[in-house]
Amino acid sequence: MARRKLIAGNWKMNNSNKEALELVNSLKDLVKDVKDRDIMIAPAFTCLSDVYNAVKGTNIKLGAQNLYFEEKGAFTGQISADMLLSVGCEYVIIGHSECRDIFGEKDELINKKVKRALDKNLIPVLCVGEHLEEREKGITSDIVSSQTKEAFKGLTETEAKKVVIAYEPVWAIGTGKTATPQDADDVHKTIRETLKSVYNESVSDNAVILYGGSVNEKNADDLLNMPNIDGALVGGASLVSDKFARIVNYIAK
């Protein structure tokens, strides 16, 4: 089945409001003719509102880099789903390895965040991926499959079909090392098999699974032409409009 490609930029903790607007305004022009792929950018919370005003009515969708699962209240420093909706977000990244590793986010919390995003009609971009030691031990499939199952716990089939998954091997993030297209495709297949075992073939076939980890303008064509890779979650290269636009405009073979 033909899945629509999604190219997403995760800006992480970068860009002042002014810099964010410069970046998005330059990007807008470079990708304005793209119609057959979805484009999403996830700026820092502080820039969401202004970036939304810059992309409103264009082919660029807005995402946030995280959310908290509670409705509102005494949760200092946290951002709710309603707050993200109020500034135009359609997507939210959940379970990024930096949130898992630096801020101690566990599968249970990630599952609550995925559920909250879905309740509020935000599309979760769920990140999964193994550490280098885990790959070396040969347990990549176990790790990725278990992270997927835990994050999907309690989701109905309809909800499961809305989740975008990003496979991001932790050792490839920001390091310049990428999984080979074949290795990445194999893990994407494992994720599809996991979804098939928990749900069914339709959920597995429908799932949009992005690859992330040092995707750049040079390796994008090879990665994005693999049968099980439905797009990219791009960090570093999404901060440079020309590079990100080249990834968005990858050449389909």
Query: In this structure, how many other beta carbons lie within 10 angstroms of the beta carbon of residue 141?
Result: 17
Q: By Cβ distance, which residue is nearest to ligand PGA?
A: 235
* 66 lies in the binding site for ligand PGA (CB under 6 A): no
Q: For ligand PGA, which is the closer residue by CB, 7 or 203?
A: 7
Q: Which of 134, 168, 188, 217 is catalytic?
A: 168
C-alpha distances in angstroms, 144 versus 113, 177, 179, 223?
18, 19, 14, 19
* 235 lies in the binding site for ligand PGA (CB under 6 A): yes
**H or E element that contains 39:** strand 37-42
Q: Which of 20, 213, 217, 220 binds ligand PGA (CB under 6 A)?
A: 213
* 64 lies in the binding site for ligand PGA (CB under 6 A): no
For the question of residue 130 being annotated catalytic, the response is: no
Q: Which of 47, 144, 173, 187 binds ligand PGA (CB under 6 A)?
A: 173
* 210 lies in the binding site for ligand PGA (CB under 6 A): no
Q: For ligand PGA, which is the closer residue by CB, 208 or 215?
A: 215
Separation CA 11–CA 34 (nearest Å): 21
* 236 lies in the binding site for ligand PGA (CB under 6 A): yes
Q: How far is the CB of 213 from ligand PGA (least distance, A)?
A: 5
Stretch that binds ligand PGA, among 73-81, 138-146, 210-218, 244-252 (CB under 6 A): 210-218
Nearby residues of 212 by Cβ (< 8 Å), 6 or more positions away: 10, 127, 129, 166, 167, 168, 172, 173, 232, 233, 234, 235
Q: For ligand PGA, which is the closer residue by CB, 124 or 236?
A: 236
Q: Which of 96, 98, 105, 130 is catalytic?
A: 96
**Contact present, 21 and 51 (Cβ < 8 Å):** yes
Which of 226, 136, 234, 134 shows the shortest CA–CA distance to 182?
A: 226
* 169 lies in the binding site for ligand PGA (CB under 6 A): no
* Distance separating the N- and C-terminal Cα atoms of the chain: 17
Hey, is 12 helix, strand or coil? coil
Hey, is 123 helix, strand or coil? strand
For the question of residue 201 being annotated catalytic, the response is: no
Residues of this chain that bind ligand PGA (CB under 6 A): 10, 168, 173-174, 212-215, 233-237
Q: Would you name the residues annotated as active-site residues?
A: 96, 168
